[in-house]
A and B are shown apart, each in its own frame.
Chain A
Amino acid sequence: MSQPDASILKEKILNMATIRLLVNGTSYEKEMDPGIPLLWALRDILGLTGTKFGCGIAQCGACTVLIEGKAVRSCSITSESATGKDIQTIEGVEATPYRSLQQAWIEEQVPQCGYCQSGQIMNAIGLLKSNPQPTDEEILSAMAGNICRCGTYPRILKAIKSILDNPSKSNNI
């Protein structure tokens, strides 16, 4: 078994920094490697595991969060670059008007295994924030970055549309 020697450890300490992350309105200050992707800072350092790891290379959307209201793949940005910005994750959605989207997900019985769904919901919120009345085409192209291996796509489309079709729900947003 190889053990790190002292000189290596010194070098590592240089790689650490205090990073301030503002997630769902709470400010967290933690020592971390500033180059760690936001995804892993959220999951392994802050313990916010609702944001999922699917591919690590911006291909699947499982890690989607909102930064300053825009959908972003948290696996592909460093925590340093997210410092001080307004980050929203699935854990914070219930406290926002977008809880109606979560309700729509329940209403249409979208999830199967559920693993991709945090990312699906966050990406859908990002879409509705930038385009509150998307057409079917716009929904499909905006959601195409989010993979669901269980095949829940028909219901994702329905759930998003149900919000649009229901003025009382969409007005809340």
Chain B
Amino acid sequence: MNSRRDFLKTTTLAGGGLVLGLNFLQSCVSEVVSMPAHVIPLVGLQNGFEAEGAFPITDFLQIRPDGSVFLSLTKYEMGQGVSTGLTSILAEELEADWEKINVRYIKSSVSKSDATGGSTSTLQHWDLLRKAGAYAKQLLIEAAAREWSVFKDECYAEKNYVYQHGSDVRLEYGQLAGKVVVPVNYRELFETVPLKYRSKFKLIGRSLKSKIVPDIVVGRHPYAIDLRLPDMKYAAVLRCPVFKGRLLSFDASEALKISGVEKVVKIDGVTLDPVSHIRDGVAVIANSTWAAFQGKLAVRAEWDLGDNAKVEHEEFVADCLQRLDSDEGREILRIGRKVKESEMDEVISYTYEFPYQHHACMEPLNATSHFKGESCEMWVGTQSADKIAANIEKHLGIRKENIKINCYPSGGGFGLRYSSEYALESMLVSKAAGGDLVKMCYSREDDIKFDYLNPFELNRHTMGIQNGKAVSWDFKNVMANWGGNLGWMYYNIPNRSATQVTVDGFTHVGAWRSVMANAEGFSTECFIDEVAHKLNRDPLEFRLSLLPRGNMVDFNHSYQCNINRLRGALELVARKAKWGKQMPERHGQGVAVYPYMHGNGYGAVVAEVSAVNNEIKVNKITASIDCGLVINPDQVRQQMEGGIIWALSAILYGGTEYVNGVVQRSNFHDNPVLRINEIPEIDVHVCENDESQPWGVGEIGGPPCYAAVCNAIFAATGRRIRKLPISKTLSANI
């Protein structure tokens, strides 16, 4: 199923007609998540179900006789908008009627290109989707030309029709789809198919409405947690409270008395790699989620909690600090030379702490699995089915071609669903239950306590000053359980270095929206603000003075940091927020800018904060983004709003607490996130630019937000924040 396939294949339809299969992503055959058709469609869109008589123009693109076009998503929808953005790219080149475009969710995806993260979906599939759309259009035009016995150059396509120049004769795509013929040299034609000029775009650049929202508002958008299959059981797992602890024994007698509970089985933990591990546990199999949850509460288990139960947070932080002070570390960036302290008149150095963070996606982790010995099937909301399949193959010995993964849209991903542990865990449950088809669902408490947390980070920035000018900038980071440091040091200081140390924390970590750019955006932009104040410079003017136009900086990343774009975002936000305007007493403005190199997008934020009556309030966030060519301005704004609110939650309430290796937070009462009555006014501006392609969007808003808010708190109160969340730094008397 996952064998490398041709871009194109020919298929014979039952009716005898030759149609083209254009498998433009070398992925497996896609099927469709079956879900009930709308009883009363709100706006006539019906995403995600199969229909009779659809012509598979490609494995990913179907045109039905009525002209409706179905595109299978090649990246996972989790709220970031790929169902709309990616389809609009294809529809643009296909000259399709946007109203006739629908989305299909990939049923089985084990491919090379599915992993969805790093704000890269659009930039990775932009070129491919354009070519696919353009090539399919060309084939439709050729089919029409044959029908009319004219040259294809005499025809053109517009809004789902092929026309003959200078006449009213036309054929709808639905009438033509079954008549498409594949030329022998299709590969070459696909690669060289002419694409539209940017000035001719009709869909790209417009705020087209989301393709999934009509299904969402009627409660019928399909999430894995909503799955119902015949003979399906429900499962909840009591997990070892401490990472890598072991189950000694358990007693299920009370659990088995609960009505609906059918079986109680042991789950043997699996170590996936040094930092990720499926916990030992006890799974309760029942006839409803509720009965499984109740059963889980009634299971008694004894654990050997292991070494992670001995980790104390204060000691852990002290150890991190010591290692920050030591010479240890891996150098990941070096620009210029090492400057001796004797060459500096002054050294400015501060340390910043970014805590562990919880995801708390609104859809709790869940997956449904059916273990059948030599083969298996799974239904799951994921950011990477490839990873799930690889882990099943490795740990359960099922060959990849016998693994079927049905991928659903997620109720939030934010990096959590990039990890595959919960999915593999559900397969272990099905296996332990003797091959029952089982939907395993985390309670919210499970979802918080066993979250793959954002790694704790300590960041230290040190700047050497000579004659009032910065001559060196050194950055060192200590991070729990994750290697890699970004070292995105974009300020033009002649000598720069970044060093990284990984330490063992108490638990499992994972990707968390914007990943390391959160901690490093926070520390870098708070620090540069501190330096500006020390040198009596305006924070905006000081930043701009260190961002020379035309500079491209190499961080050993796939993309070079484009200082013009970074500067453009900063200048735009400063203008829109009226940087430097008069603020009332105990009110302040703060600014920050940060690149997000994984997606090559740039964001900047100005925050307005007040500190009156002992209450810090974020009143307004003005933000800008340069994400290259804009596919859908409204969706860009939507992602920025979401990213900003995400960061504000972390600023105010983020972090976690653990005692004897056990996470203390459990649900939304002790892991608060921002609510509607706490949000500031948010004003987002999208930079005009002449980039020839789209870049990342989803993770650009958060990173500059932390520092902008903290710098604004400084402007309002004179207090510097070097540790998040602010509730732990600023308690009283602010």
Contacts and interface: CB of A to CB of B under 8 A. Distances in A.
Contact of A44 (B212, B234, B411): B234
Interface string B244-267: 000000001100111111111100
Contacts of A143: 676-677
Given A55-B667, A111-B210, A151-B643, A40 B676 contact: no
A83 B678 CA distance: 37
A115 B363 contact: yes
B411 A16 contact: no
B288 A59 contact: no
A13 B258 CA distance: 10
Contacts of A47: 228
B360 A140 contact: no
A56 B43 contact: no
B409 to A, nearest CB: 7
A154 B682 contact: yes
A44 B288 contact: yes
Given A33-B260, A115-B79, A150-B412, 18 more contacts: A1-B264, A40-B290, A56-B444, A57-B667, A60-B444, A90-B218, A90-B219, A91-B218, A95-B40, A106-B43, A106-B213, A109-B635, A113-B79, A113-B362, A141-B677, A147-B668, A150-B642, A152-B641
Given A33-B291, A44-B289, A90-B218, A149 B256 contact: no
Contacts of B380: none
Interface in A125-172: 140-141, 143-157
Interface residues of B, number: 78
A157 B443 CA distance: 29
Contact of A2 (B78, B221, B256): B256
B605 to A, nearest CB: 14
B218 A94 contact: yes
Interface size class of A (residues with CB under 8 A): 35 or more
Given A40-B288, A56-B443, A152-B642, A113 B675 contact: no
B358 to A, nearest CB: 10
Nearest to A116: B362
Contacts of B288: 36, 40, 44-45
A71 to B, nearest CB: 15
A97 to B, nearest CB: 14
6 contacts: A15-B259, A50-B220, A52-B411, A56-B667, A114-B221, A121-B217
B406 interface: no
B42 interface: yes
B53 to A, nearest CB: 27
Nearest to B448: A55
Interface of B: 40, 42-43, 78-81, 209-210, 212-221, 223, 225-226, 228, 234, 252-253, 256-265, 287-291, 293, 360-364, 409-414, 432, 434, 441, 443-444, 634-635, 638-639, 641-646, 667-669, 673-677, 679, 682
Interface in A47-63: 47, 49-57, 59-60, 62
Contacts of A89: 219
B290 A36 contact: yes
In the A-B complex, the 10 residue pairs with the smallest Cβ-Cβ separation, listed nearest first, are A50-B219, A115-B411, A113-B79, A151-B645, A114-B216, A90-B219, A112-B79, A49-B226, A40-B290, A151-B642
Interface of A: 1-4, 8, 11-13, 15-16, 33, 36-37, 40, 43-45, 47, 49-57, 59-60, 62, 89-91, 93-95, 99, 102-103, 105-106, 109-118, 121, 140-141, 143-157
Contacts of B263: 1-3
A95 B219 CA distance: 13
Contacts of B223: 115
A15 B667 CA distance: 29
A115 B218 contact: no
A78 to B, nearest CB: 10
B449 to A, nearest CB: 13
Nearest to B432: A1
Contact of B644 (A91, A121, A151): A151
A109 B213 contact: yes
A75 B251 CA distance: 28
Contacts of B668: 54-55, 57, 59-60, 147
Contact of A140 (B410, B674, B676): B676
Nearest to A54: B362
B411 A113 contact: yes
A152 B79 CA distance: 11
B219 A118 contact: yes
A1 B415 CA distance: 35
A151 B639 CA distance: 9
A99 B42 contact: yes
Contact of A112 (B42, B291, B642): B642
Contacts of B409: 113
B209 A115 contact: no
B364 A149 contact: no
Contacts of B40: 94-95
Centre residue among A16, A49, A144 by max chain B CB count within 10 A: A49
Contacts of B212: 111, 114
B81 A149 contact: no
Contacts of A2: 252-253, 256, 263-264
Given A112-B638, A149-B362, A140 B677 contact: yes
Contacts of B43: 106
A151 B51 CA distance: 35
A61 B639 CA distance: 22
A115 to B, nearest CB: 3
Contacts of A116: 362, 411
B214 A106 contact: yes
